[in-house]
Structure 1
Amino acid sequence: MGDLLIAIVDDESARDATVDLVKALGFAAAGFDSAAALLRSEDLHKMDCLITDVRMPGMGGFELHRDLAASGFTIPTILMTAYPEDRIRPQALGEGIKCYIAKPLEADELLSCILSAVDHAEGPVGKGSQRR
């Protein structure tokens, strides 16, 4: 599992906690303070999975997922939120989001989501795949 690189986009305190949790689950993790920071990253093509908050200043998680998909990056995406709404889940899953989970994150649920997301990725997982 350690060879998978998980991108985490969220505000500072939540991001740091999620990075620590992902590392404790046995994955490599890279934290970003905004969607724009991830999109500017030279390592974007190395990401195997994205965990991002629905609500963030600037570009939120839905918009980030859509922007990546529009540019050819189909990184398996997990949306997390402190404000879960049942009506949002079907929309998220319908747009190709792999999991929609509530904060605070539970380790078992997050692990299940990550494994499911990378297992169901089409073609080679992350690592620069620009699947169109």
Structure 2
Amino acid sequence: MISIVDDDMSVRTATHNLVRSLGYAVETYASAEEFLHSPHLNETSCVIADVRMPAMSGLDLQSHLIASGRRFPFIFVTAFSVESDRARALRAGAICFLSKPFDGDVLIKCLDTALAQNGSAPGE
């Protein structure tokens, strides 16, 4: 399953529709906290997350998951690209770091890379 974590509903919806059209199971979350409390957390194959969100950022979510022993492939998206955020995300193992608005084909390539690394297939 692909988990999309973004506080912007329009981005969540568009990303959901794109990923779903590829045949993947998808869940969306408006915040990192909502994702962390989801009953689907352990079903996640890849996380597509916004970098900047209220309360817990996407980068903090990635760090929290790693610290708790959960390593999911991450694809980050952001409207405010800062090199230090990009470097932090990639150092922690993120697959891609995309600036909004991002090209759907680029996101698909990132997703393919993430899921190949994780050994997942559509429907997972």
TM-score range with shorter-chain normalisation? 0.7 to 0.9
Q: Deviations over 1:93-118 (max 9, x none)?
A: 11111110111121110011011112
Indicate the residue corresponding to 1:129 in structure 2. Answer: none
| TM-score using structure 2 length | 0.88
Is residue 102 from structure 1 mapped to residue 99 from structure 2 by the alignment? yes
Between 64-73 and 89-98, report the one with greater CA deviation.
89-98
**Structure 1 contact 25–107 (Cα < 8 Å) conserved:** no
Indicate the residue corresponding to 1:6 in structure 2. Answer: 2
SS of 2:28's equivalent in the other structure is: strand
| Correspondent of 1:66 among 63, 68, 88 | 63
The within-5 A match list for 1:88-99 is 88-99=85-96
- The residue identity in structure 1 corresponding to 2:6 is D
Query: Could you tell me how far apart the structure 2 residues matched to 1:112 and 1:13 are?
Result: 21
Q: Deviations over 1:25-67 (max 9, x none)?
A: 3322110011001100111000100000000011011000011
Unaligned stretches of 5+ residues in structure 2? none
Query: Could you tell me how far apart the structure 1 residues matched to 2:54 and 2:83 are?
Result: 22
Identity of matched residues, % = 40
TM-superposed deviation, 1:87: 4.1
TM-superposed deviation, 1:85: 2.7
SS of 1:13's equivalent in the other structure is: helix
CA RMSD of aligned residues (A): 1.5
- After the TM superposition, list the runs of 4 or more consecutive aligned residues in structure 1 that deviate by more than 6 angstroms: none
Query: Could you tell me how far apart the structure 2 residues matched to 1:99 and 1:18 are?
Result: 15
Relative to its length, the structure with more helix (as a share) is 2
SS of 1:120's equivalent in the other structure is: helix
Between 25-34 and 35-44, report the one with greater CA deviation.
25-34
Query: Could you tell me how far apart the structure 2 residues matched to 1:64 and 1:87 are?
Result: 16
Indicate the residue corresponding to 1:42 in structure 2. Answer: 39
**Structure 1 contact 77–99 (Cα < 8 Å) conserved:** yes
Is residue 116 from structure 1 mapped to residue 96 from structure 2 by the alignment? no
Unaligned stretches of 5+ residues in structure 1? 126-132
Query: Could you tell me how far apart the structure 2 residues matched to 1:71 and 1:19 are?
Result: 26
SS of 1:73's equivalent in the other structure is: coil
| TM-score using structure 1 length | 0.83
SS of 2:101's equivalent in the other structure is: coil
